[in-house]
Structure 1
């Protein structure tokens, strides 16, 4: 049995009930996106100050946002985390994860380059990973102009973004992307089959349920033939050996919990240095709910510290 939810999570669930929020699986894409974006305004604390924020675009038109942490000088060359936001490949943008990106920059002392990849269902698999990979290659090729060190690159993201980061780490190992020093996987999606026990445990009463994950998957990867592809399901890769050292966060009340734990365990078995932090009393999405779920702020600091140490 999972540990009881943290009291802040119970407060959050009561707020969701009072607001009459609809389950994802009952909604069309456009109103579901609006519901997600509105919720972030309530759930996130005010954005912390950073030294610099710069809006950029890839040659393809994909929007990027570069954050430089407090305390850095204008000419400092910094390590960089290329960050992919969560939202089931269907929701999210630079604005919904602005607080998290700023906080990770300050906690790590690294630059953070956030990527607003194309969303499904308009742009299904593998559009998101194609965009994210383009951003990583662009960061390495344009490091001097960005004020970053091309030899000190990391990838990371939450949920669907963690999926993209894990895939990018495999691509970098295989030479399809520049070398990476670190991968930060925050309650990641690792297996499109959704057959782990935690999908059966969490079927109602949470912001993300097993039915909600199926709703996301059916928009991002509607063709079942794509599910075993390691670019969709990095847990299905033949080997994880040789990928960058990892920080993996899992939370107890999450249909993705068991596949994230399996990924961390496989990394360790296959010789990849990994720190796995499991927080039994929190729920999926907590890192972007810090105004209500206060332990999330400590977890952001922990992830940032892991990044700082890896790129020191």
Structure 2
């Protein structure tokens, strides 16, 4: 499940972070962690061109939910991909994931709607999930704002965003809609648990450690009992039947590796169409490195995800 060592390109990134003294998120305050992630995962100063980009706010379960809509060149209506950013729930934003959203627009030839959900600890579970589900439902009911097609809606999330995407897929099934064409789960957090072999990976070979994961969970949940809720821990759902076709991405050097693999296996056992790509020598967050022209792995993965989405969209 993991190569003997990370790919040399990935190891160079890990070594550079160590040399630069980049701290672990779990050693920082919330504000410090948010600032660090924004510094580490900044979007390109020369963003990939798309057709149009616009920001506005839609009605949410509590306050309004900020969204950013990206549309491709070409003729509408477009398929729609609803995007939930990563960052351990507490970090990240629409801005930090701008490059990924732009790349997905062009790879999948679809509109992308990025969701600025409420974040813990100010807004713990289930607030982020409810915002993401409400936004997905709102987009399905108002596809014209994205020049989109309500019959072709998919969802995407990485890490904590993958957790939110998996939860939204289950909510869409359990609450009678909207119907989803596909879900993309990139190195997702799917269980409030810390006991699989991937948690024993060498801390020098991973970006996120077990301590970091415990730190974000402690901010996300008001109590440990919430960790049993399948909308917090999608792997704990009694049934994974009747979910959309799914792409799952896992990496060898990622403490979340085993959770993602197990979720893909359970989906397959539930007769869900699953495309599981495992990169045994890559690290958590590698897709966010697509702005570096020397790191082709991220761009190649985006291209493959684009093909998966096009297959479900019927493009």
What TM-score, normalized by structure 1, do the two folds share? 0.95
Partner of 1:93: 93
* Number of aligned positions between the proteins: 308
Contact 1:124 1:219 in 2 (8 A): yes
Partner of 2:19: 18
Instruction: Mark the runs of 5 or more structure 2 residues left unpaired by the alignment.
Output: none
Instruction: Mark the runs of 5 or more structure 1 residues left unpaired by the alignment.
Output: none
Distance in 2 separating the partners of 1:293 and 1:211: 28
Partner of 1:311: 313
Partner of 1:107: 107
Partner of 2:65: 62
Distance in 1 separating the partners of 2:222 and 2:24: 20
Offset at residue 202 of structure 1 (A): 4.6
1:296 counterpart (286, 295, 298): 298
Distance in 2 separating the partners of 1:294 and 1:202: 25
Distance in 1 separating the partners of 2:199 and 2:45: 30
Contact 1:51 1:67 in 2 (8 A): yes
Distance in 1 separating the partners of 2:45 and 2:206: 21
Partner of 2:82: 82
SS in 2 for 1:227: helix
Partner of 2:210: 210
Within 5 Å, give how 1:123-138 maps onto structure 2.
123-138=123-138
SS in 2 for 1:251: strand
Offset at residue 260 of structure 1 (A): 0.1
Instruction: Provide Cα deviations, 1:230-262, integer angstroms capped at 9, x if missing partner.
Output: 000000000101100101000110000000000
Runs of 4+ in structure 1 over 3 Å off: 43-46, 202-205
Distance in 2 separating the partners of 1:45 and 1:187: 26
Change (3 A) 1:37 1:21: same
SS in 1 for 2:68: strand
Matched, 1:174 2:183: no
Offset at residue 287 of structure 1 (A): 0.7
Partner of 2:74: 72
Offset at residue 145 of structure 1 (A): 3.4
Offset at residue 176 of structure 1 (A): 4.4
Offset at residue 46 of structure 1 (A): 4.0
Matched, 1:279 2:282: no
What TM-score, normalized by structure 2, do the two folds share? 0.94
Change (3 A) 1:131 1:112: same
